[in-house]
Each structure stands twice: as C-alpha cells, then as structure tokens.
C-alpha cells in the first residue's frame, strides 16, 4: 500500500508553470507594433496586451508599467532603445509622453497622414457592403502647429502655484501647459497672464475634494481675423470681486483681450461651463471670418478650433453641393450657421436646424451680420423638425449632415432620406460612426461615392471626413 501511495504521489499533477508576473512598476523591453485609436503604442508581454504612452510604431523601448488589469496593462517609456523611422528627430513638443494631449506630435507628419488615411479605410472594411468608395488623399491645413484657437483648461493647485492645463489620461491630475505648440500663440499668452494674475491677486483656486475655492476652469477663444481674445473664467460661485480684479489685470497686461466673462458652474462632474455668463466688458463676442462669411463667437458657441481646417471643409461641402441658385438646402446640426451661410449665396433657400437654442440665436445674428436673407434657422430636435418639413411638403434638394461624434440617430437618417434630396453630404468627426451611418444610408437608398478626409487636428488622432452620397434609385 505504501508503494502504491508513493506511486500516486509521483503521478499527481504538479502546480502549473506560469509566465512572468506583470505588476505595477514592472520593467520590460518591448517593440511597438502600432497605435490604438487613443494614441497609445501597441505591444504585448507574455501575459498581457500593452498600451504604452508615447510609443511610436517601430520603436524598441524599455517601459515601466503603471497599471495592470486582467488582460491589458498600461505603461510609459523609460528609455528608447531603438528609434523608429516614423519618429521625428525634432518634434514641436518634448513633453508629449507626459501630456498625451497630442499623441502624434512625435511622429513625422507624412506618417501621421498615412495613419489617418488607413484608420478611415479600416473602419470602412468593418462593413463588407462598403467596398468601392473612393477615399481621397488627406487635405492638410497650412499650419500644423499653433492652429488651435479655442482652449478649455483646468485650473488646479493653489494661488501661489496654480496649474493651468489638461487632465492626464485616466486621472484627475492636471498637466500644467506652458507655451503649448498646438495652441494659437495668443492663447498661450493669455494662459501665462492669467497664471500671473492668480498668484498676484491671490485668487482662490477651487479644490474638487474639499469643494472650497473659486476658480475652476479657464476658457480662451481667439479671433484670428481680429487678432483679439476672449477670456472666460469658470467659477464655483458668483463672487464678483476677485474675478473683476483678475479680468482687469489680464486686460491691462494684454490689450488683445477684448471680451472677459465669468461663467458660474456649481455642479459636480466633468461639464465645464454652467448655463449663465456674466460679462465684465462692454463687448460680448468676437468676430471670425472664414472665406466670405463673418461669424460672431460667444463664450459657449460651437466653432471649429482650426480656422484653416474649417475653410477646407466649407469649400468641399460647397463644391459637392453643386448649387445653381435654385436649390433648397437643409443643414442639420448647423451650430452657429457656418456651413449654411457659406452655401447661401449659391442657393435659393437654406434651412438650418440645431437643438441648442443659444447656437440658433447666434446663427440668426450671423445671418444678419452678413446681410443674408435667404437663411432661416430653427431650434429643436432634428427628428421632429424633419417630420414637420415633410408634413409641410417642402422640396429639399441638398441635405448637409454635420452631427456630433456619436453620429446620426437612425430615425434622423430615415427621415432625411424620406425627403429624397438629390444630393446628400455628411461631415463627420468620427470614422467609426461615419462607417456605421454610411452602411445604414446605403440600405435607405443613398450610396456613398467618395470621401474627403480633412486634417482638422494635426498632431492628434482626430480626423474630419466629408462624404458625398448619390441616390441609388432616383425613380422612387
């Protein structure tokens, strides 16, 4: 029996051998094979998929692990062992691996355009029925840095040492931005003057943990046409005195600041601006110009952050609309009216639809500013207003869709195609939702013929795309 027991013990399975354990602060050498949609370098260990901040495809790097989940781990570069050919020798920013606001800024620009082109093509390949669409080469603006004219920045720290910047990824730590190469130079100048003013005037900075303090966010907008700036201080409460003196200080230091406002946001969460603006200056808006269209910009107006990129999009929409002066155009998700007003001179009538009341009010002001009388703007849910247009028997020749990142609701697309416009143009900021909506529109009788990518946000992962559709069956 003892011999038999001994034999059993020898044949019993031993504990399973496992690969090296990956834990926080582990260090390992890996090669970066690509980039994910958020700009992390892609690699792997024996046990986990890896996402490496600041990694470029082709880099061989020594990485430190920051966070480990069940199947994926995140890390940062400790040392580049072998430099990828796509990595720029002199990138505009040396802090990219810490900031991660512009994940592609360390990549040579021609490889950035390749990545964006391939990313759009990859999304289309998720749908077998979308073969045969012409994907044109990416259009790039003249400036690849210092193009961003709007900045929404977090204020943190103490008045003696304020941080003005952006949240680090997956954290509430604020990365302090100084002379950001993406921001317009006037934005950077405003940030430094505000930083100086907070310290000099001892303005209390809001602490989200203790819920004490005043200043929460800084919003800066620049009109390149006027070379003027708007400064909005977002505060936890009204508290007029401190902001009045801070605004006065900023204007004295920087005469280009023409509009100063206080926005009160006492809510918790990630929404930056509250519902009410209190102006500290007689002027309440800036005026920007894109092509022949002047646009008034207020503190909460949606407006493209890259003026040159917006012009490329407006020009492409205008070209593909093929207007002769007799058409009725419907511009859905029209914002403050940029696209609608740029089409008005070549159309008989333009109708803009937008859910945000304040944006519609701005669009109406912009129509008056430009002396355009054949544009009307309506506030409300796109699906409901489309139903009203159909009930009124309105003949629509051209529809322009410019939805938010989530794309269009199926009901909206069904009601748009029910109007049977001869031309349908879709401006998208998300290749994923664009591919999904192209697939649905094909079912609804509209086939995408060509796509024009536009690099609205150089140095980042984002890309805008203009899509042109033709009616599949024009007899119905």
Q: Judge if 419 and 356 occupy the same domain.
A: yes
Q: Which of 95-99, 226-230, 383-387 has the lowest mean pLDDT?
A: 95-99
Q: 430 and 340 in one domain?
A: yes
Asked if the model's pLDDT at residue 11 lies above 90, the reply is no
DSSP 239-281: -HHHHHHHHHHHHHH-TTEEEEEEEE----SS----SEEEESS
pLDDT single digits (tens) 127-158: 989 999 999 999 999 999 999 999 999 999 99
Query: What's the CATH number where 57 sits?
Result: 2.40.50.140
The pLDDT value recorded for residue 6 is 41
Residue 226 and residue 180 share a domain: yes
304 is in an annotated binding site: yes
CATH number at residue 244: 2.40.50.1070
| pLDDT bucket at 4, cuts 50 / 70 / 90 | very low
- Where does the pLDDT of residue 192 fall: very low under 50, low under 70, confident under 90, or very high at 90 and above? very high
* Domain edge (last residue) among 261, 290, 319: 290
Q: Is there a contact between 439 and 133 (Cβ–Cβ < 8 Å)?
A: no
166 in the same domain as 137: no
Residue 92 in domain: no
Ligand-binding site membership of 354 (annotated)? yes
Confidence tier at 474 by pLDDT (50, 70, 90): low
List, for residues 307-362, the tens digit of each pLDDT value. 999 999 999 999 999 999 999 999 999 999 999 999 999 999 999 999 999 899 99
Q: Please indicate, yes or no, whether residues 58 and 178 belong to a single structural domain of this protein.
A: no
Q: Is the pLDDT of residue 434 over 90?
A: yes
Final residue of a domain: which of 41, 72, 87? 87
Regarding whether 318 and 213 lie in a shared domain, the answer is no
- Name the β-bridge partners of 465: 428, 453
Total of domains in the chain: 3
292 is in an annotated binding site: no
Residue 225 domain flag: yes
With respect to residue 406, please indicate whether it lies within any of the assigned structural domains.
yes
Residue 55's domain comprises: 24-87
Q: Within a domain: residue 19?
A: no
HSE-CB for 452 with a 13 A CA cutoff: 20
Arithmetic mean of pLDDT, 191-220: 96
Rounded CA-CA distance 296/313 in Å is 19
Per-residue confidence band for 270, with pLDDT thresholds at 50, 70 and 90: confident
Q: Is the pLDDT of residue 19 over 80?
A: no
Q: Is the pTM of this model over 0.85?
A: yes
Give the catalytic positions in this structure.
429
Domain for residue 415, yes or no?
A: yes
Residue among 29, 36, 99 nearest 63 (CA): 29
123 is in an annotated binding site: no
Task: List C-alpha distances in Å: 325 to 94, 422, 470.
Answer: 51, 15, 20
> Domain check: are 318 and 272 in the same one?
no
Q: Is 346 helix (H, G, I), strand (E, B) or coil?
A: coil
pLDDT in the model for residue 2:
43
Sequence-separated (6 or more) residues with CB below 8 Å from residue 427: 313, 317, 339, 400, 401, 402, 464, 465, 466, 467
Is the same domain home to 188 and 256? yes
Mean pLDDT rounded to a whole number for the chain: 92
* Antiparallel, parallel or unpaired: β 60-68 and 446-454: unpaired
Residue 338 resides in a domain: yes
Residue where a domain terminates, one of 236, 257, 290: 290
Q: Tell me: do 329 and 384 sit in the same domain.
A: yes
> Which of 389, 383, 299 lies closest to 336, judged by CA?
299
Give, for 154, the enclosing helix (H) or strand (E).
strand 150-158
Q: Is residue 6 part of a domain?
A: no
Over residues 165-183, the pLDDT tens digits come to 998 876 778 999 999 999 9
Q: Which pLDDT tens digit goes with each residue over 43-93?
A: 999 999 999 999 999 999 999 999 999 899 999 999 999 999 999 999 999
Which residue from 474, 471, 468, 473 is spatially nearest to 133, judged by alpha carbons? 468
Between residues 402 and 18, which one has the greater pLDDT?
Answer: 402
Q: Are residues 234 and 325 in the same domain?
A: no
Q: How far is CA 257 from CA 120, 261, 465, in A?
A: 39, 11, 33
In 3D space, the residue among 373, 400, 375 whose CA is nearest the CA of residue 319 turns out to be: 400
Average pLDDT of the residues in 285-302: 93
Whether pLDDT at 457 is above 90: yes
The reported pLDDT for the residue numbered 104 is 95
129/155 same-domain check: no
* 133 in the same domain as 67: no
* Domain annotation covers residue 389: yes
């Amino acid at each position: 029996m003892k011999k038999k027991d001994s034999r059993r013990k020898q044949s019993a399975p031993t504990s399973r051998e496992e690969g090296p354990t990956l834990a926080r602060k582990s260090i390992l050498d890996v090669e970066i094979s690509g980039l994910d949609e958020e700009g992390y370098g892609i690699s792997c260990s024996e046990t986990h998929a890896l996402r490496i901040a600041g990694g470029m495809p082709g880099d061989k790097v020594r990485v430190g692990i920051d966070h480990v989940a069940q199947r994926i781990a995140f890390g940062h570069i400790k040392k580049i062992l072998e430099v990828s050919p796509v990595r720029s020798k002199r990138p505009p920013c040396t802090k990219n691996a810490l900031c991660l606001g512009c994940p592609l800024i360390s990549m040579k620009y021609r490889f950035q355009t390749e990545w964006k082109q391939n990313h759009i093509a990859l999304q289309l390949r998720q749908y077998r029925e979308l073969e045969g669409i012409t994907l044109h080469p990416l259009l790039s603006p003249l400036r690849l840095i210092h193009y961003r004219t709007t900045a929404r920045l977090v204020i943190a720290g103490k008045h003696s040492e304020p941080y003005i910047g952006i949240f680090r990824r997956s954290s509430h730590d604020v990365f302090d931005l100084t002379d950001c190469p993406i921001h317009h130079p006037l934005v950077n100048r405003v940030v430094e003057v505000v930083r100086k003013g907070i310290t000099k005037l001892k303005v209390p900075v809001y602490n989200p943990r203790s819920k004490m303090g005043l200043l929460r966010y800084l919003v800066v907008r620049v009109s390149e046409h006027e070379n003027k700036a708007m400064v909005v201080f977002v505060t936890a409460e009204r508290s007029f005195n401190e902001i009045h003196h801070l605004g006065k200080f900023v204007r004295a230091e920087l005469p280009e600041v023409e509009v100063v406002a206080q926005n009160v946001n006492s809510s918790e969460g990630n929404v930056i601006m509250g519902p009410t603006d209190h102006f500290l200056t007689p002027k309440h808006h800036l005026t920007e110009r894109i092509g022949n269209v002047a646009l008034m910009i207020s503190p909460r107006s949606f407006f493209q952050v890259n003026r040159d990129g917006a012009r490329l999009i407006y020009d492409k929409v205008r070209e593909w609309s093929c207007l002769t002066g007799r058409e009725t155009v419907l511009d859905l998700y029209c914002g403050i009216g940029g696209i609608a007003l740029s089409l008005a001179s070549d159309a008989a009538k333009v109708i803009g639809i937008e859910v945000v009341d304040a944006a519609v009010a701005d669009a109406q002001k912009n129509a008056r500013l430009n002396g355009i009388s054949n544009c009307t703007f309506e506030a409300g849910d796109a699906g409901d207003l489309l139903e009203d247009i159909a009930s009124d028997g309105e003949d629509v020749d051209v529809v322009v869709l410019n939805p938010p990142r989530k794309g269009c609701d199926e009901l909206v697309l069904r009601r748009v195609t029910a109007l049977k416009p001869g031309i349908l143009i879709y401006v998208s900021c998300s290749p994923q939702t664009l591919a999904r909506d192209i697939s649905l529109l094909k079912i609804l009788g509209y086939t995408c013929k060509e796509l024009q990518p536009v690099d609205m946000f150089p140095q980042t992962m984002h890309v805008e795309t203009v899509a042109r559709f033709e009616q599949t069956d024009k007899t119905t």
